[in-house]
């Protein structure tokens, strides 16, 4: 499999004969402020050994031009050595020094070295992002995680800029209007973990110290940075406070000193993901710098991400998976640790497991029911497979399974196993067997059967209570039914809930049982009075979908919001949403539950999830004949709850945003316009810039925002965020011309940066505009292979997922998707996977609509 898409077999062959001793990378980015400059100079010298002298190999490089290639002092013909994706070298010695000088391209897509010009002040900013394999866009590499090496970076940049990398900088020299930053060598790390951040960033600094039992003191310089124009909104004290709590927590649990010297955290523009664990230089999307008021759920999410990335310093950076098959060895652990540490580190976010149960696991349940589901330990054939496996199974399902493992093996055994794992494999690479080995040592349990059931099989089980009672209403038998293609062992708690004197649904009894096989009887339940609600997987101990017997379901219909415990209530909400997605509960019944009880929901993160899910229920899962009424009911409910919410509260803001998403009638849109102009007011509601854009989007989508009004709003918010929101609004207008312009901006040119590609797609693809976008279904399927071959994988993925005609939710569109899949069996597997997943979403919507009609 030649070219860009490195295969696992090629990586294994290369690792079988090579050992890398170090990289020296010199980058000259002084041209970055010049918008006409497309490339920067990159010079890589890599020192490596070969166990088979005389053999040939290749380095990975994606660059417009290679100027020279020198192997062991011998100049090679760059024109023949470089094929556009690889630098081929032969006649290797036992010890080798290879230098590649290239012109590499500045990125607009967030892959490689991304360049951004701030519209607020004209300043230019750079940062890198590589995972899984884009370091090769910046320097010549052996682009695979198991060829670790120390890296020494030297970066020449404009004199007014600062530069950061993984290690601390040493000498900084100034010459001819430029400064050259020389960084110390890193510890051995993988290529995808290297980083460079450069520009006139605003920086806040602090430090962290810790004394260990042996008397040694660890001092870690800390910094947090963002663009200068965002500095007034940058709450660095909060960010660095969470950072220090996290460092305390992980040092206590892992007993391995943070190994990468300093800890920089850069919040960067147009970032494709939430954050990246580059050792010593973590990068985050700058959406975490809040320009306007956000709910506490946003702060909790940011703190979770900070701790997630910090966990990677040990799980992923210190010890790295050998190949992407074991991606879960870092991502599942970090996802679990993000929630675990929010509580364990004594942050103020005490509802982390509620958020995990309601939001993260919803991602996992969706992914695990797609036809492309895979085991947590996956079969990753190549880099395109790897790119797509940063998904809900690798992250959230893996984290849920680890939560169960901690309960199964014991937290003490789990963390002692982690400590041994770091000590034995520091700065090395591992596979599943390495982790299981240490956990078996510390727990005394045989984990092979556990791993076979949970890590090496795909799919999610559903657990359903089966309750029989006698004439007096006492339970004669309670059994737990398990379905799924594989029966797994589940240790679960069963909550028996009844009304208390105040009318709340509270847990009266707690039973704990090991569920095995298709049917498990719970003998402890016999003789007890039948409760109002039987809640399986109470406390969220296992990974499963929860079902209800009919009496329990009726109790939820009349009293879901009366469940007093936050986690139990979140689990109930999650369960009824899964029933809706699985076409076992009509969409209108789910909407009725949300309208009846969401106003009582105290957890702001759960409330925001309910808003998103109710909108999806109406847009995709409801009978089209009822869709209009459902949309009106949501908007009426949003308006009612907005007026009833506590002034200035997070809940008030959440309902205001939900009103903006659902507004369609004259009353709703009139209030929206009034809030924008100031002619209407909701006591305590601050109509700040982000909320203004949400309100403008509502008007734009309804055809009630003029070009002049949107342009005036952009002029008042001439920022990167403003430009994105303005672009969404333009694409959201309900006219053929607006849809054509948005489609053309993405399809007919490769000039847009990633953020504006995403903005155009978001505005184009509004479900309420399905009649306008229907004519793009046929061109979409015709363009798939061309877009996949011509664009970077990041942009191609956005096209495939974002423009798929899911909103049509009709049988002809499903037939078009099937025809493309049937007619393109040889298309790239990663492309077929994306189309198949969206096709499955469409088929699920049609099943849900049929349920809603019945």
Active-site positions read: 309
In terms of phi and psi (left: phi > 0; alpha: psi -120 to 50; beta: otherwise), the region of 289 is beta
Q: Could you tell me the sign of the dihedral formed by the alpha carbons of 314, 320, 321, 326, in that order?
A: positive
Q: Other C-beta atoms within 10 Å of 118: how many?
A: 19
Q: How many other CB atoms are found less than 10 A from the CB of residue 518?
A: 12
CB-count burial class (<10 Å; 0-12, 13-18, 19+) for 609: buried
Alpha helices in 702-828 (DSSP H): 707-716, 720-732, 736-747, 754-764, 770-773, 777-790, 793-803, 811-823
Q: How far apart are CA 237 and CA 214, in angstroms?
A: 31
Q: Is the peptide bond before 348 cis (omega within 30 degrees of 0)?
A: no
Of all helices (H) and strands (E), which one includes residue 14?
A: helix 8-17
Residue 625: count of CB within 10 angstroms of its CB: 10
Q: How far apart are CA 631 and CA 616, in angstroms?
A: 10
Q: What SS3 state is found at 60?
A: strand
In whole angstroms, give the CA distance from residue 502 to residue 562.
Answer: 10
Three-state secondary structure call for residue 92? coil
10 Å CB burial of residue 218 (0-12, 13-18, 19+) is middle
Full strand arrangement of the beta sheet holding 151-158: 74-76, 65-71, 95-105, 39-50, 18-28, 151-158, 178-183, 169-175
Rg value, the chain, Cα: 28
DSSP class of residue 530 equals P
- Residue 266, Cβ density class (10 Å: 0-12 exposed, 13-18 middle, ≥19 buried): buried
List, in sequence order, the alpha helices (H) in 444-489: 448-454
Output the DSSP codes for 559-624: HGGGB-SHHHHHHHHHHHHHHHHTTSS-HHHHHHHHHHHGGG---HHHHHHHHHHHHHIIIIIS-H
CA distance 635 to 113: 43
CA distances 124 to 113, 200, 495, 782, Å, are 13, 8, 56, 38
| Of 272, 274, 222, 273, residue with least CA distance to 248 | 222
- Which residues have CB under 8 Å from 717's CB, separation 6+? 689, 692, 693, 725
Sign (positive or negative) of CA dihedral 589, 595, 599, 600: negative
Q: Where do we find the tokens 């010459």?
A: 175
**Beta carbons of 48 and 23 less than 8 angstroms apart:** no
Within a 10 A sphere around the Cβ of 346, how many other Cβ atoms?
12
Q: Which residues of 17-48 are buried (b: 16+ CB within 10 A; e: fewer)?
A: bbebeebbbbbbbbebbeeeeeebbbbbbbeb
Q: Provide the CB-side half-sphere exposure for 537 (13 A, CA).
A: 26
| CA quadruple 373, 377, 382, 388: dihedral sign | positive
């Amino acid at each position: 499999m030649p070219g860009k898409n490195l295969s696992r077999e090629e990586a294994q062959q290369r690792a079988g004969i090579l050992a890398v001793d170090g990289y020296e990378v010199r980058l000259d980015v002084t041209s970055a402020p010049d918008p006409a400059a497309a490339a920067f100079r990159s010079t890589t010298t890599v020192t490596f050994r070969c166990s088979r002298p005389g053999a040939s190999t290749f380095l990975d490089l994606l660059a417009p031009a290679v100027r020279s290639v020198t192997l062991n002092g011998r100049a090679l013909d760059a024109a023949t050595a470089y094929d556009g994706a690889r630098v081929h070298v032969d006649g290797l010695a036992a010890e080798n020094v290879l230098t590649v000088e290239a012109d590499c391209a500045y990125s607009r897509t967030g892959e490689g070295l991304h360049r951004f010009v701030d519209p607020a002040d004209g300043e230019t900013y750079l940062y890198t992002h590589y995972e899984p394999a884009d370091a090769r866009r910046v320097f010549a590499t052996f682009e695979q995680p198991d060829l670790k090496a120390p890296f020494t970076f030297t970066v020449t940049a404009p004199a007014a800029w600062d530069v950061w990398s993984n290690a601390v900088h040493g000498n900084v020299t100034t010459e001819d209007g430029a400064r050259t930053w020389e960084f110390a060598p890193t510890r051995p790390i993988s290529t995808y973990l290297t980083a460079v951040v450069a520009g006139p960033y605003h920086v806040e600094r602090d430090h962290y110290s810790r004394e260990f039992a042996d008397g040694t003191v660890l001092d870690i310089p800390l910094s947090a940075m963002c663009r200068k124009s965002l500095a007034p909104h940058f709450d660095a004290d909060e960010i660095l406070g969470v950072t220090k709590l996290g460092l305390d927590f992980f040092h206590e649990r892992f007993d391995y000193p943070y190994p990468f010297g300093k800890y920089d955290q850069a919040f960067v523009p147009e970032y494709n993901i939430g954050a990246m664990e580059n050792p010593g230089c973590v990068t985050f999307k700058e959406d975490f710098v809040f320009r306007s008021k956000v709910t506490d759920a946003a702060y909790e999410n940011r703190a979770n991400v900070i701790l997630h990335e910090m966990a990677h310093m040990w799980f992923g950076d210190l010890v790295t998976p050998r190949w992407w098959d074991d991606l879960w060895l870092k991502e599942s652990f970090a996802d679990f640790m993000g929630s675990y540490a929010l509580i364990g580190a004594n942050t103020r976010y005490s509802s982390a497991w509620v958020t995990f149960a309601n939001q993260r696991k919803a991602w996992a349940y969706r992914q695990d029911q797609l036809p492309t589901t895979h085991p947590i330990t996956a079969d990753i054939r190549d880099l395109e497979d790897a790119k797509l496996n940063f998904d809900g199974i690798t992250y959230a399902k893996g984290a849920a399974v680890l939560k169960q493992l901690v309960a199964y093996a014991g937290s003490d055994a789990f963390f002692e196993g982690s400590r041994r794992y770091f000590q034995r494999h520091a700065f090395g690479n591992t596979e599943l067997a390495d982790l299981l080995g240490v956990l078996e040592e510390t727990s005394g349990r045989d984990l092979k059967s556990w791993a076979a059931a949970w890590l090496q099989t795909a799919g999610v089980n559903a657990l359903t209570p089966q309750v029989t009672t006698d004439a007096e209403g006492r339970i004669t038998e309670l059994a737990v039914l398990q379905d799924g293609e594989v029966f797994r062992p589940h240790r679960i708690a069963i909550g028996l809930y009844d009304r208390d004197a105040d009318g709340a649904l509270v847990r009266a009894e707690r039973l704990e049982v090991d569920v095995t096989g298709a049917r498990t009887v719970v003998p402890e339940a016999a003789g007890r009075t039948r409760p109002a609600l039987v809640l399986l997987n109470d406390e969220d101990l296992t990974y499963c979908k929860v079902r209800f017997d009919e009496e329990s379901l009726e109790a939820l219909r009349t009293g879901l919001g009366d469940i007093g415990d936050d986690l139990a209530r979140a689990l109930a909400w999650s369960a009824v949403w899964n029933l809706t997605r699985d076409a076992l509960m009509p969409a209108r019944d789910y909407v009725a539950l949300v309208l009846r009880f969401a106003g009582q929901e105290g957890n702001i993160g759960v409330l925001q999830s309910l808003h998103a899910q109710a909108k999806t229920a109406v847009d995709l899962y409801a009978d089209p004949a009822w869709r209009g009424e459902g949309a009106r009911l949501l908007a009426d409910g949003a308006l009612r709850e907005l007026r009833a919410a506590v002034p200035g509260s997070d809940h008030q803001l959440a309902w205001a945003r939900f009103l903006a998403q659902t507004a369609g009638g004259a009353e709703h849109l009139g209030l929206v316009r009034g809030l924008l102009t100031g002619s209407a007011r909701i006591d305590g509601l601050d109509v700040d810039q982000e909320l203004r854009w949400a309100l403008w989007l509502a008007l734009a989508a309804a055809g009630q925002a003029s070009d002049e009004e949107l342009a005036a709003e952009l002029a008042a918010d001439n920022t990167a965020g403003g430009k994105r929101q303005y672009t969404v609004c333009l694409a959201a207008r309900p006219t053929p011309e607006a849809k054509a312009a948005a489609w053309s901006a993405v399809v007919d040119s490769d000039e847009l940066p990633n953020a504006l590609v995403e903005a155009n797609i978001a505005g184009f693809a509004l479900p309420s505009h399905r009649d306008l976008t229907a004519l793009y279904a046929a061109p979409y399927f015709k363009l798939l292979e061309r877009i996949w071959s011509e664009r970077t994988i990041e942009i191609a993925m956005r096209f495939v997922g974002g423009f798929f005609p899911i909103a049509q939710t009709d049988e002809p569109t499903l037939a078009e998707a099937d025809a493309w899949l049937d007619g393109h069996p040889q298309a790239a597997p990663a492309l077929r996977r994306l189309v198949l997943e969206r096709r499955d979403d469409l088929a699920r919507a049609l099943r849900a609509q049929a349920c809603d009609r019945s």
